[in-house]
Amino acid sequence: MARFLFTSVPVEGHSASPLAIMAALTGAGHDVTWIAGARHADRARRVGVTHVPVHLSTDFSLYDDVFDVRPEFRALSGVPLLKAVFRSVFLGDAANQVRELEQVLGSFPADVVVSSGPQFGPAVLAERTGIPHAVVGDGPFAALDEHAPPFGPGLRPWAGPLGRTRNQLLNAVVRRVFADVQRTWVDVRRAHGLGGPDPWVFDAMGQGDVVLMGCVPGFEYDRPMPPNVRFVGALRPLPPENWEPPEWWYELDTGRPVVHVTQGTIRTDPGELVRPVIDALADDDVLVVVTTGPIDPACLGPLPGNVRTAPFVPYERLLEKASLFVTNGGYIGTNLALHHGVPVLQVGDTEEKAEIGARVAHLGLGEAFRKAPSAPRLRKAVRRLLGDAELRARVEALGLVYRTHDSPTEAARLLVDLARRSRPAASAAAAGHDAPWG
């Protein structure tokens, strides 16, 4: 049996993404320890995993609104926000992540370190010590190359030589705009004794012996993928314990199209998406099902008669019955919708959401808006997506591809294979031959 040390960015999406994989590993008799937010201890217990709470890097799980941790970010958007988050959070926590990993490895000599979310500490540790490192790819592929536009602004690809030339020019611009972020990344590497050549900072998020992409090739741009990238299908959250359907659940089977609306767990202002969709569809013959996440559904105010709300509904259970998924663009939710053959209406351009929306639109799987449009435009978009038989057939065809995958089983098998191939390197690293672990 093998030993796996998982570490996750302690926010809901990135902490939920590896749970089913960990459950598959412990179910097969492997030993798993998980460095995660303090609020995730019960989840770890449920799947037989040893939980180690984040104690040196920032534990976002302790906050209902992650912007409470960095209130200065509220005034930022677009590229300035992205740069600030990378420099002060993702790169700012890298040294603490390395120390946390070293401390745990001192008593739990893992065969493989597995990270989820934009973490740089695991990549630094792996390069320093040679310990095998895998990445749970719970976001769009972000490497910089000439075959796709650079990650971040949500630009759609152009075909042919003109598109490659455009991408090369844009890549050069991005390298200049994010030069200060790259310098911070280089400083982190030098502080840990790593020399050059230094990988591009966004490329480093996908560094690993294996990258387990939580989608299928049909949800990525047509570009060459590195040999370490493996597509495992949609990352499927574990079904909750003791969940009881709300009293209105039977209405999902009454024949009306079901429109599922969510803003995820980070963007909590319902005025960004949820309330505009509710108002736009108030008079349509659809059933609008809203999940509000960390906010009380009462905050939505008075609701039309065709709206049902709940803080949480298992994605798998709801998307089996949905006709359309309206989302700010969370990666796990979008891929689960496609897994079930459900078209996507994406609204928003924060975090990585513009990238997801660009893929939805470019690949003909739905429609995307940077900001919530007017009620008439929203209503028109929903009606078009519900009534477009060709689009729905295309999405269902992609769903069939998704459903050939069982992501927890496939990911666990790849991780076990990595552990078996890499045991000598892992043993040397855990023994402290390359770095102290205490």
CB-CB contact of 86 with 201 (8 Å): yes
In this structure, are 421 and 398 located in the same domain?
no
pLDDT in tens, 269-304: 787 889 999 999 999 999 999 998 878 888 888 999
Shared domain for 183 and 256, answered yes or no, is no
Asked, for residue 392, whether it belongs to a domain, the answer is: yes
Q: Is residue 242 part of a domain?
A: no
Are 192 and 290 part of one and the same domain? Answer: no
Q: Do 282 and 213 belong together in one domain?
A: no
Same domain assignment for residues 388 and 410: no
Q: What is the mean pLDDT of residues 410-421?
A: 96
| Predicted confidence (pLDDT) per residue in 143-189, tens digit | 888 999 988 788 899 989 999 999 999 999 999 999 999 999 999 99
Task: Name residues whose C-beta falls within 8 Å of residue 62's C-beta, 6 or more positions apart in sequence.
Answer: 37, 38, 39
pLDDT band at 430 (very low <50, low <70, confident <90, very high): very low
Euclidean distance between CA atoms 94 and 57, whole angstroms? 8
**Residue 436 maps to a domain:** no
Residue 241 belongs to some domain of the structure: no
Segments forming the whole domain that contains residue 34: 3-233+405-430
Residue 435 placed within a domain: no
Domain count, the chain: 2
Is there a domain that residue 275 lies in? yes
User: Which stretch of 73-87, 202-216, 337-351, 388-402 has the lowest confidence by average pLDDT?
Assistant: 73-87
What pLDDT, in 10s, does the model give residues 86-124?
898 899 999 999 999 999 999 999 999 999 988 999 999
Same domain, 181 and 254: no
The one-letter amino acid at 325 = F
Domain check: are 45 and 155 in the same one? yes
Residue 434 sits at φ, ψ, to 5 deg, of: -110, -20
Both 166 and 263 in a single domain?
Answer: no
Same structural domain, 15 and 138? yes
In a domain, 362, yes or no: yes
Is residue 136 domain-shared with residue 194, that is, in the same domain? yes
- Domain annotation covers residue 377: yes
Tell how strand 344-347 and strand 324-327 pair up: parallel
Q: Which of 284, 384, 378 is nearest to 343 (CA)?
A: 384
CB 281 within 8 A of CB 306: yes
Domain co-membership, 295 together with 397? yes
Contacts of 385 (CB under 8 A, 6+ apart): 324, 343, 345, 366, 367, 391
Do 420 and 396 reside in the same domain of the chain? no
- pLDDT for the residue numbered 206: 78
Whichever domain contains 333, its CATH number is 3.40.50.2000
